[in-house]
Structure 1
Amino acid sequence: MKAGLALIRFLIAMIALALASLAGAQTLPGTEPLPADTATAPAPDPFGRETPRGAITGLLRALADGDYLRAAQYFPAEESPEAETGSETSDDGTDALAADADSQPDVDRRAELARKLQIALDSGGSLLAFPLLSNEAAGVVDDGLAQNLEQVGTLSSEENAAPILLQQITATDGSMQWRIALETAEEIADFVPAEAVEETITDEDIAVAGAPLIDWLKLIALALLAFAAFRLLTALLMALLRRAIAEHDTSPVYRFLHAAMPPLSLYLAVLTFYATAGDLGVSIVARQTLLRYAAIVAWIALAWFALRLVDAIARVVTGQMHRAERRQAVTIVSFLRRGAKVFLLAIAFVAVLDTVGLDVTTGIAALGIGGLALALGAQKTIENLVGSVTLIADKPVQVGDAAQIGEVFGTVEDIGMRSTLVRTLNRTLVSIPNGYLASERIENYALRDRFLFHQTIGVTYDTDAKQMERLLGELRTIIADDGHILDDDARVRFHGFGDSALQIEIFAYFNTRSYPESLAMQETLLFAIMRKLDELGIAFAFPTQTIHLQNDIVG
């Protein structure tokens, strides 16, 4: 039950972490109102006790280093848990109590409590994983505890269990600090007997990064075993599906599962590791360190899963759109796929940065402060992005269209977020920035609803008026009898007297949207015209000159 509850909390926190980080960035540093009695903000706490996450992280680092004097700074002083009167810190981050002979017994007491806490956590206690710890100065305000209390873990033994609480206090410099609550300090003293402390002092285990080497090996083995088990299970499942689904390559269900299984195996392995690591009885330092970085792996797995899922859905939808000949939908799906992947990568990047402890809020705020410079530097990128949106909205060209774009003629192969790819007749691939494309003249040949047949025939001047009238009538009959020609605009007219021919204009439209079909129709019509002129004995004219020579004979 305990592991299941922790697992649910971990899942909720993993989903909300990136959104919380982004939401927190909307309040710029320094915009909070100052207290009425404070002229300037307190200096940063050298021990990082401003937030529950900072306090636990600093405490674990001190325990890993074996520096129990520094770890004592995270425990309440003997005088009062609400107002520290003897915990002033110097500029170099050392506690003044360490140099005060009168306060030395209190420092020793707190150092011993820190050692006992480590023993209690190593022997079955637990702390919340790094993503679950609040990184806000006020902590979690809706957890049902007092406003100045925060639960960060649990002390467990065979007989009973007790929560590990932090309490927010006011230091002498006016800053707010989170320390182990007084009631938790009393529980720690009762949980671990003095002889247990003596046993840890004489322990000769090989230590790595503040924890026994064997503990690191146990946790790493657990993680690898969990991942191998889930990969094996998913491989068996996919093998069964390949046998059960005849055409699995085209099955949407199979393609979805094929895309989801590798990252899902990694993510489930992380969840299993999180739920079972506490049962190994290993050092809290090793456990919390690997759980922290397991959260990074979980975010990577989630991002990997989402990216593969987006690609799988896009492939299925694109295939359906191709079969339905909805080329504009293919362009939109391609654009949305790229946009979704960029958005998912941004969320994962922010979440990973937050997990490793970087101040995401400050970084995003810095982007806001430098927004003007960023906009100027990315002017072309923004222009191309807007251009791609314009192309998708206005639909001047679609994927698969043959078009003349400026001086480039070819077939549109892809409309991306930055540029459009055009395959030319020479089979070269031309990349045209969408910002330029949105403002350029585009002639889309694929949108023609009919094809023009416009020919001017020249016959020789040996053709008399009667022959010409008969020829025009025969040609009009040929046009009228052709089932591929639209009758509303078709015409055959004696056009004029050329330099070397009598000119006949034929104007008509073929009722087709296919360019290859129009070429076949045009060829058939031209052969019919040639045969008719041969039948009537009328010759095509070609440029000729007739020279008349006059000989004047002088007698």
Structure 2
Amino acid sequence: MLYKKLTLFSPRSLTYRYKVVAILILVLCWHTPQLHAQEAPADTAEIVVPVWPEDSLGRRTPRGTVQGFISAVADQNYNRAAHYLNMDTTLVSVRNGPVLAKSLQELMDRSGKLMPFSWMNNTYNGFAEDNLGPNLDRVGAISINAEEIDLMVERTEGPEGGPIWLFSSQTVQRIPLPVEENIKSTLVEKVSPEALEDNKWGGVPIGHWLSIVLLIIVAYLLAKGITALILLLIPKVWAKARQETTAGIIRAFALPVQLYLAIWLFVFASRYVGISIIVRMRLSEITVIVGLIAMLLLVWQLLDFLSRFFERRLALRGNQAGVSAVLFLRRGIKVALLVLGIILALDTFGFDVTAGLAALGIGGIALALGAQKTVENFVGSVTLIADQPIRVGDFCKVGSVSGTVEQIGMRSTRIRTADRTIVTIPNGEFSSQQIENFAPRDQFLLSSILRLRYSTTPDQIRYLLKEIRAALLAHEKIDSKQVRVRFTEFGQDSLNLEIYTYINAKDYNNYLEIKEELFLQIMDIIQASGTSISLPSQMLYLAKENDQSDDTGEKEV
């Protein structure tokens, strides 16, 4: 039997604050039921197409063989149970099939551990990747004379030519006869009254059923006590566990660990006291379901904790769009967890979920096509929240729209323009456009051309260049590394001086205030220099034309 190994991140890759997360995950997942996987054959010609009739005993697959055997011994029909054993001619001549079937049941009751039915292969070929050969599958283990051996089933050929899976001849050969002489009575048989052992229900003594109920209660209470003790001790031995963030993560692990520990204690105790394999196999699927619930519950509670954590952080920053996105994602992931849990539960109980998954896939495609714009806008909103090119209160320009961002929603973003109107832009379109955000800039450019009269002398220009440059450098809000005052050109009607620098201002109004102050200083400097600003001028040329008369006696105008 091939098990997929669960790969955990090394605790060394985590921060010191969250090492406890890795430790608790390791404890929870150490005995987690591991699902086996089969790879689809690359060559479709290798797929076995059943052309034979169904076996009346259901022995076409490893799972069917084990289920049939358990059902037969539960009915105490050991003649039928013997048909699930591979007894070659040597065994048939020296050993009795029904007696062997009963002995195998006794071994399973006392020391056996079978995989849950949902873990067993349910195909005609069995597992080909378990390194046991093409005709063998492992379904559990039994203990004989203090030695644990694998419980194997092997594929044989039936009368119709189809595969028949039976408990392997090697396993059957090792079954001791009679079992009662080799194995002592179980603990549950010793403590149960004779009346509870003689009366049976479902092929199992009533004492075993009562013991199962008692074990469930004891396992749950013991797991609850152990979990409470661990939660009490962790803050005492680890100081960081008293911090809110770490404590929240530990609390998220509490209930899943308690459930999983209860299941582990129950499974271990039921084998230890010798509960009948019939009862254990009937409850095996339930234990798998509870294990799955524990894992999904862990993800659920971690999701709740993390979403609340980020929700508080975003709320403190005033990012309401981020809060909305977190709430939406939390609901979506919870719905996905519920659907996943239902699918896994149905698969564990033996329902074919392939058709349902195909229907969900087709429905999901149809829904995605129908809600394409909605999905596009949602993805756009996630992009805006994650990338944060703008925030509420920022002044920005998107396409041809300029204004202040008032709201970033899950579907659209609202911008209030200078005309005090509201422009609503879908987030899908918003995130795909070029966005110019004026809010995060740390400096404002001051670039101006100073036009002087042509009567200005070179000495006056030198004076202006020196004094204006000194005034800019003296101002505390001017970036001194980027100050430029130069005589740049002879204009059409003026001598041009370029003023170029950056102003360190916190907002646009502050920039205008500093700019106004600097321009007034420059006007004072110009006045002190003895020159003035050039005024736009035009030259008009007047010419007197000779008056001439034409034949009609009229004058040209």
The TM-score normalised by the length of structure 1 is 0.57
Query: CA deviation digits over 1:503-537, x for unaligned, max 9?
Result: xxx9986424x44xx4345456668989999xx9x
Partner amino acid, structure 2, of 1:237 = L
- 1:152 aligns with 139
Match of 1:276 among 256, 269, 274: 269
Per-residue deviation at 1:217?
0.4
Quote the Cα distance in structure 2 between the aligned partners of 1:175 and 1:377: 48
Matches within 5 A, 1:100-249: 114-130=101-117, 132-141=119-128, 145=132, 147-156=134-143, 163-185=150-172, 190-192=177-179, 203-205=198-200, 212-240=208-236, 244-245=239-240, 248-249=243-244
My pick for the range that moved more, 297-306 or 380-389, is 380-389
- 1:357 aligns with 350
Query: Are the equivalent residues in 1 in contact too, given 2:103–2:179 (CA < 8 A)?
Result: yes
Question: Do the aligned partners of residues 207 and 436 (structure 1) sit closer, same or farther apart at CA in structure 2, a change above 3 Å counting?
Answer: farther
Quote the Cα distance in structure 1 between the aligned partners of 2:274 and 2:380: 59
The secondary structure found in structure 2 opposite 1:220 is helix
Per-residue deviation at 1:167?
2.0
- 2:452 aligns with none
Per-residue deviation at 1:236?
0.9
Question: Do the aligned partners of residues 381 and 231 (structure 1) sit closer, same or farther apart at CA in structure 2, a change above 3 Å counting?
Answer: farther
Question: Do the aligned partners of residues 236 and 398 (structure 1) sit closer, same or farther apart at CA in structure 2, a change above 3 Å counting?
Answer: farther
Per-residue deviation at 1:41?
3.7
Question: Do the aligned partners of residues 379 and 16 (structure 1) sit closer, same or farther apart at CA in structure 2, a change above 3 Å counting?
Answer: farther
Per-residue deviation at 1:174?
3.0
Does 1:33 find its partner at 2:28? no
Quote the Cα distance in structure 2 between the aligned partners of 1:150 and 1:378: 47
Quote the Cα distance in structure 2 between the aligned partners of 1:114 and 1:289: 19
Per-residue deviation at 1:221?
1.9
Quote the Cα distance in structure 1 between the aligned partners of 2:41 and 2:359: 12
Quote the Cα distance in structure 1 between the aligned partners of 2:279 and 2:485: 87
Partner amino acid, structure 1, of 2:476 = G
The secondary structure found in structure 2 opposite 1:519 is helix
The secondary structure found in structure 1 opposite 2:159 is coil
Does 1:72 find its partner at 2:85? no
- 2:552 aligns with none
Quote the Cα distance in structure 1 between the aligned partners of 2:437 and 2:204: 66
Match of 1:519 among 504, 509, 516: 509
Quote the Cα distance in structure 2 between the aligned partners of 1:151 and 1:200: 37
Quote the Cα distance in structure 2 between the aligned partners of 1:367 and 1:61: 35
Question: Do the aligned partners of residues 313 and 396 (structure 1) sit closer, same or farther apart at CA in structure 2, a change above 3 Å counting?
Answer: closer
Q: Taking every aligned residue pair, what percent have the same amino acid on both sides?
A: 29
- 2:62 aligns with 52
The secondary structure found in structure 2 opposite 1:190 is coil
Query: Are the equivalent residues in 2 in contact too, given 1:122–1:281 (CA < 8 A)?
Result: yes
Quote the Cα distance in structure 2 between the aligned partners of 1:321 and 1:489: 43
Question: Do the aligned partners of residues 310 and 510 (structure 1) sit closer, same or farther apart at CA in structure 2, a change above 3 Å counting?
Answer: farther
Query: Are the equivalent residues in 1 in contact too, given 2:82–2:100 (CA < 8 A)?
Result: no
- 1:549 aligns with none
Per-residue deviation at 1:241?
5.4
The secondary structure found in structure 2 opposite 1:165 is strand
Match of 1:295 among 279, 288, 301: 288
Partner amino acid, structure 1, of 2:166 = R
Quote the Cα distance in structure 2 between the aligned partners of 1:255 and 1:245: 12
Partner amino acid, structure 1, of 2:229 = L
Query: Are the equivalent residues in 2 in contact too, given 1:420–1:431 (CA < 8 A)?
Result: no
Query: Are the equivalent residues in 2 in contact too, given 1:169–1:176 (CA < 8 A)?
Result: yes
- 1:397 aligns with 389
Query: Are the equivalent residues in 2 in contact too, given 1:121–1:284 (CA < 8 A)?
Result: yes
Partner amino acid, structure 1, of 2:70 = L
Partner amino acid, structure 2, of 1:233 = L
Listed as ranges, the gaps of 5+ residues in structure 1 are 1-7, 82-104, 456-471, 492-505, 537-555
Query: Are the equivalent residues in 2 in contact too, given 1:153–1:165 (CA < 8 A)?
Result: yes
Question: Do the aligned partners of residues 256 and 79 (structure 1) sit closer, same or farther apart at CA in structure 2, a change above 3 Å counting?
Answer: closer
Matches within 5 A, 1:396-475: 397=389, 402=394, 409-410=404-405, 419=410, 435-440=428-433, 442-451=435-444
Per-residue deviation at 1:409?
4.9
Quote the Cα distance in structure 2 between the aligned partners of 1:125 and 1:367: 40
The secondary structure found in structure 2 opposite 1:169 is strand
Partner amino acid, structure 2, of 1:53 = R
Does 1:264 find its partner at 2:257? yes
The secondary structure found in structure 1 opposite 2:44 is coil
Question: Do the aligned partners of residues 78 and 525 (structure 1) sit closer, same or farther apart at CA in structure 2, a change above 3 Å counting?
Answer: closer
Quote the Cα distance in structure 1 between the aligned partners of 2:167 and 2:251: 48
My pick for the range that moved more, 302-311 or 271-280, is 302-311
Question: Do the aligned partners of residues 169 and 246 (structure 1) sit closer, same or farther apart at CA in structure 2, a change above 3 Å counting?
Answer: closer
Query: Are the equivalent residues in 2 in contact too, given 1:223–1:273 (CA < 8 A)?
Result: yes
Query: Are the equivalent residues in 2 in contact too, given 1:241–1:254 (CA < 8 A)?
Result: no
Question: Do the aligned partners of residues 201 and 234 (structure 1) sit closer, same or farther apart at CA in structure 2, a change above 3 Å counting?
Answer: closer
Quote the Cα distance in structure 2 between the aligned partners of 1:313 and 1:371: 27
Query: CA deviation digits over 1:237-273, x for unaligned, max 9?
Result: 244258x4497236xx555544444433433443333
Question: Do the aligned partners of residues 260 and 317 (structure 1) sit closer, same or farther apart at CA in structure 2, a change above 3 Å counting?
Answer: same
My pick for the range that moved more, 356-365 or 282-291, is 356-365
Listed as ranges, the gaps of 5+ residues in structure 2 are 1-25, 186-193, 418-422, 449-463, 487-498, 528-557
- 2:11 aligns with none
Question: Do the aligned partners of residues 340 and 15 (structure 1) sit closer, same or farther apart at CA in structure 2, a change above 3 Å counting?
Answer: farther
Per-residue deviation at 1:45?
5.1
Matches within 5 A, 1:90-109: none
RMSD: 6.3
Query: CA deviation digits over 1:298-343, x for unaligned, max 9?
Result: 23333444565677789999999999x9x9xx99x989x9899699
Question: Do the aligned partners of residues 436 and 166 (structure 1) sit closer, same or farther apart at CA in structure 2, a change above 3 Å counting?
Answer: same
Query: Are the equivalent residues in 2 in contact too, given 1:230–1:269 (CA < 8 A)?
Result: no
